[in-house]
Amino acid sequence: MQYANDLLRANPSISQEELNQKVLEKRIALTKNPIPGTIQTTTVPMSKGVTKRFINDEQIQMMLPENEPGMFEGLLENPEVWWENFYGGTELAITTNEIARGIMNFPKMLTLEATAGIKQLQGEKMTAEEKAQLGYFLQNSLVTPGNISDNQFTKWRQALQDRLPEYDDSITESIFAASANPIKAAEDGSWAEIGGRIASKSVGSLPYTAMSLNPYTAAISGVSIAGNKYFENLEQNPDEAAWKLMGNAILTGGVEMADAVLTRRFLGRAGVIKGRYGEKAAKQFTEGFAKK
């Protein structure tokens, strides 16, 4: 849904409940009758090509399940479909790969910054080309035992992502589609598909959930995020001053570390609690918070 994507772009930190509520309000606004008691027809796209006619606000609310779907939704009713959509191991591997990649990148960030600082003291300034070349060398050419190149991490991530199925709708959109016709959704396995997808994202977020339970491991998480963020910024803005690149990366890692300690320790963003659906949190985790 374009509206949901626009909301995420405008406010990346919006919670899953807030996102769902705003999308629901938008749907209600689009289906509200100007004259009480009259019927206005609107067509809502479904993931399986099903459409549903809404009559009033009460009917819209009735179409939503009493309890928000969780990771085990549909498992007992349709286990085959649930397991077909469960890729928790792959999601977990992607998250682990990104954490390790960021930890490797952090000391390389410090090395590049130290080099830029020394040149600054000498009255020189590193050009965008020099920073890009040194960054590539540190990430990929300066490989020592136990130090894996960034290119290798990228190859592993791509190989893992290629194993994941592609869906036409996000989890949120699929939930709204299934809620519009819950009986049919139960019959055709839509709820089981949603449950499997939520479970996959939830399992993928487990490393960050575990790290959030301790300030020291949360700090390691922040270091990883900062390392990845720095080199992403360097690639996107090579003309930016080196100290600004590092400051932005450290700030991003620090914010995420504080958020981990204050919020994720309650499992609120881990996808374990049903209300989160697991999607947004997992998206942040598995794509590396550095991409926020």
Closest CA to 177 of 40, 15, 43: 43
Of the listed ranges 61-75, 213-227, 261-275, the least confidently predicted one is 261-275
Q: What is the Cα–Cα distance from 96 to 204, expressed in whole angstroms?
A: 9
Q: CB-side exposure of 149: number of CA atoms within 13 Å?
A: 9
Residue 101 Cα distances to 137, 156, 188, 221, 234, angstroms: 15, 11, 40, 11, 16
More confident residue, 159 or 147: 159
For 70-114, the pLDDT digits (tens) are 788 888 888 999 999 999 999 999 999 999 999 999 998 999 989
Structure tokens at 209: 């959930």
Q: How many domains does the chain have?
A: 1
Q: How many residues does the chain have?
A: 292
pLDDT at 163 over 50: yes
Provide the residue range defining the domain that includes 143. Answer: 69-291
Find which of 31-35, 50-54, 127-131, 196-200 is predicted with most confidence, using mean pLDDT: 196-200
Query: Is 7 part of any domain?
Result: no
Of residues 186, 190, 196, 191, the one with CA closest to residue 164: 196
Residue spans of alpha helices (H) in the chain: 2-10, 16-31, 57-63, 79-84, 88-121, 128-136, 150-161, 171-180, 182-188, 190-204, 206-212, 215-236, 242-262, 279-286
Q: Is residue 101 part of a domain?
A: yes
Predicted pLDDT at 123: 87
Buried b (16+ CB within 10 A) or exposed e, 217-239: bbbbbbbbbbbbbbbbbbeeebe
CA distance 130 to 134: 6
Determine, yes or no, domain membership for 30.
Answer: no
DSSP label at 165?
P
Assigned domain for 169 exists: yes
Structure tokens at 42: 């609107």
Give the pLDDT score at 181.
80
Residue 43, beta-bridge partner list: 53
Inside any domain, residue 48: no
Identity (one letter) of the amino acid at 22?
Answer: K
**% of the chain residues with pLDDT over 90:** 19
C-alpha 211/C-alpha 259 separation (Å) is: 12
| 56 within a domain of the structure (yes/no) | no
Residue 245 lies in a domain: yes
- β-bridge partners, 53: 43
- b vs e for 42-53, b when ≥16 Cβ sit within 10 Å of the residue's Cβ? eebebbbebebe
Confirm whether 27 is domain-assigned: no
Q: pLDDT digits over 164-207, tens only?
A: 999 988 888 888 888 888 778 877 888 899 999 999 999 998 89
Residue 11: the pLDDT is 67
CA distance 68 to 231: 38
